[in-house]
Structure 1
Amino acid sequence: MKLEISLFKFDKNSDYLPFYTKHFLKIKSEKTLLDILNTINDESTFGYENDENFDLVVNGLYLKASTTIEELVKKFGKDLTIDPISVRRAGNDLIINDDDFNKKLLILDDFINQEDKKAYSKLKQYYYASNTLDYKSEYIGDAVLILAYDLIQADKTNEVAILKVLKEQEVGASYHTNLKNRIFNFDTSIEDKIVSIQKKLDLIHNDEDKNFRINNTLIIDFKNFEDSNEIKHDFKDFNIAYYPSKECEKVDSLLNNLSAKFLSLDTLNLDLAKNTFNKNQEITYCVATTILLDAFDNNADFLLVDNDDDFYIFDYNRKAFEKFSGRDVILPVIHVNELQKLASGEHKIANETLTKHQINPEII
């Protein structure tokens, strides 16, 4: 088996910009990603840690150097791009300056001992994997929230004091974005810990209390998704950016029967932080702006969503998006129920809701 590897390179003392070196590696005795790094290093030295717990990013996902080659190829294929866990903090190729990570631990300084500090050091992946850091470098970090949960579990007498400290942070737990699509083979119990802390801080509302129509009271009835397999309009020559919230066979079947091009963009995997939207809209607006503008810049004709909440977030908050980005946000948003009716030729029914959009797609 032969792998094509693009390896991130950057020396803060000599390079102005980072670059990538190409390596065509024929697998012999190598079993893990660390073995690959060691083999490349034997040919041409570079900065990394010869440790199976070394944190890396491969093809956009955060993982450990202990990840097997078999797992890598199964997930990504044979073309691999290897990056440090923080490109902006890279100093010597894959080795970064993690002072920001260590500094955030001071938040819990009154409650920790040396063992806790060691435990925190093992949570580095969760800190840098957070998409929130792309918008808010001062975010306390998911690692602090995870450690806070563990500290409370170990000693309940500290719970009130720890929660008080967390609540005092200006860019705290309400800025968390889900790590599920960011980390390879993600352990969902990690997310459960963070959500538990958010609940203790009263940041999460019940589903029935959530309101994503902050700037518009109009409720649109998108009707039901019809089980129609008849495709009268296959959307050939359309570029569609689909932001999926869940897996649904009916929706997948519809999309598979269309001739449209569906854009493959990393931003379509970003979490909108809907859990805490009613307490903090800022992070949701930041992420939604990124998704819409990336789709627009990649020539999408519209953004497709599969639930009402996502529609309201993307279509009803355009002024907020424009404020964050300094750009016009004009990409239309279409609900999958509307797409189904358009594809099956039910234009009159579809138009009843399309005309109520903030930006009418005028697709008919």
Structure 2
Amino acid sequence: MKLEVSLFRFDYKSDYIPFYKKYFIKVENEKTLLDLLNTMNEEDEFFYDKNEDSQVVLNNVVIDCSTTLEEIYNNFSSELTIEPLSKRRSMTDLIINDDDFYEKLEILDNFLDEEDKAYYKSLKKYYYASNTLNFEKNYIGDSVLLIADYIIDKKPQLKNDILKVIKKHPVGIQYHTSLKNRVFNLDENIETKILKLKEELNFFKKEEEQNFKINKTTNFSLEKVTSVTNNIKNSFCDFNISYYGENHHFIKSYLEKLNCKIVDLESKQLDLNKSSFHVNNKLTFKIAGEVIQEAFDKGSDFLVVNDINDFYILDYNRKELKKQIKREIDLPIIHLQELNLLVEGNVDEVSNYFKKHSINPGLI
């Protein structure tokens, strides 16, 4: 097995920005990610936690250093980028200042014993994996929410008091964004525990009960596309097309049939916090703004989604997005069903849909 690794390097004492050092590794005796780091360190010394219980960010996903290289190769291929848990808090290479993680524990200090504090240390990866921290540095932290669930389970008599503390936090659980796709091999129970707390505090509402249309109220009757068409009548070879959504893998497989240039977004699977939109739409618009801004800056002609609520958020709330990103971006958003109609030559039918958009993609 041969690996091409880009390693994050930074020294807060002397560097203004980080750089990435390339390593070309032929795996021989290395079994785990930590073994790989040890081998790289022998070639050129750098700072990292030499503990198997530690974590790093690998290709934008938080991962345990005990993970096998075989599993990494099967899930990430041979080109790897290794970064610290938090680039913003990097001190030297992969070592970070984690004071903020421990400071957040003070929120529940009155309810903790020494065993609880020891358990909290094991939740560090969930704290730094949260995308919310990239938008709200004062976020209560997923680690705090998880230790809250842990204490409630252990000491049920404290439940109401703990819930009051969480609900009172100004940047609390209503700012939680999903850890799915952000932690490698995420235990589903992690999200379940946090969503249960959200429901307890009335910060959770199902998507079908939400109103995602702030600036425009027209309804659509578009359905998710579930199969790739073979009836391709129009060429898209001159188009740069980006895509977003939970089912982004399917959208990409569809676009690959069109002979277009596919624009891959780092933000293509960011959670929009739709379950708390009714109490905190500001965060949704911040994240959606990040998506549409990246698509525009990378030269996309339009952005494709396959979920009607993603469409509403990105296209029907242009004024709200502008407030958050301080830019007006007139990038068309197209639902995959509309693109499918274009692909199959149903121009008149799709034109009627386009008239309902905030930004009419009619020129396509």
2:159 corresponds to: 159
Structure 1 residues 318, 148: CA separation in 2 closer, same or farther (over 3 Å shift)? same
CA contact (8 A) 2:243 2:252 kept: no
Distance (whole Å) between structure 1 residues aligned to residue 276 and residue 50 of structure 2: 39
1:319 corresponds to: 319
1:240 corresponds to: 241
Unaligned runs of 5+ in 1: none
Cα distance per residue 1:57-109 (max 9 Å; x no partner): 11111101111111111122222211100011111211100001111111111
CA contact (8 A) 2:248 2:268 kept: no
TM-score by length of 2: 0.95
Structure 1 residues 113, 80: CA separation in 2 closer, same or farther (over 3 Å shift)? same
TM-score by length of 1: 0.95
CA contact (8 A) 1:221 1:353 kept: no
Distance (whole Å) between structure 1 residues aligned to residue 253 and residue 230 of structure 2: 8
Distance (whole Å) between structure 2 residues aligned to residue 257 and residue 46 of structure 1: 44
Unaligned runs of 5+ in 2: none
* 1:1-364 aligned within 5 A: 1-222=1-222, 229-246=230-247, 254-364=254-364
Deviation (angstroms), 1:214: 2.3
Matched residue SS, 1:88:
coil
Q: Which amino acid aligns with 1:339?
A: L
Q: Which amino acid aligns with 1:117?
A: K
Deviation (angstroms), 1:240: 1.3
Distance (whole Å) between structure 1 residues aligned to residue 206 and residue 222 of structure 2: 23
Matched residue SS, 2:40:
helix
CA contact (8 A) 2:225 2:306 kept: no
Structure 1 residues 182, 14: CA separation in 2 closer, same or farther (over 3 Å shift)? same
Matched residue SS, 2:38:
helix
The percent of aligned pairs where both chains have the same amino acid is: 46
CA contact (8 A) 1:222 1:337 kept: yes
CA contact (8 A) 1:229 1:254 kept: no
CA contact (8 A) 1:234 1:257 kept: no
Distance (whole Å) between structure 2 residues aligned to residue 2 and residue 303 of structure 1: 35
Cα distance per residue 1:134-175 (max 9 Å; x no partner): 110000111111111111111211111001000110001011
Distance (whole Å) between structure 2 residues aligned to residue 111 and residue 142 of structure 1: 17
Cα distance per residue 1:254-296 (max 9 Å; x no partner): 5443222222221101111111111110110011000001011
CA contact (8 A) 1:226 1:340 kept: no
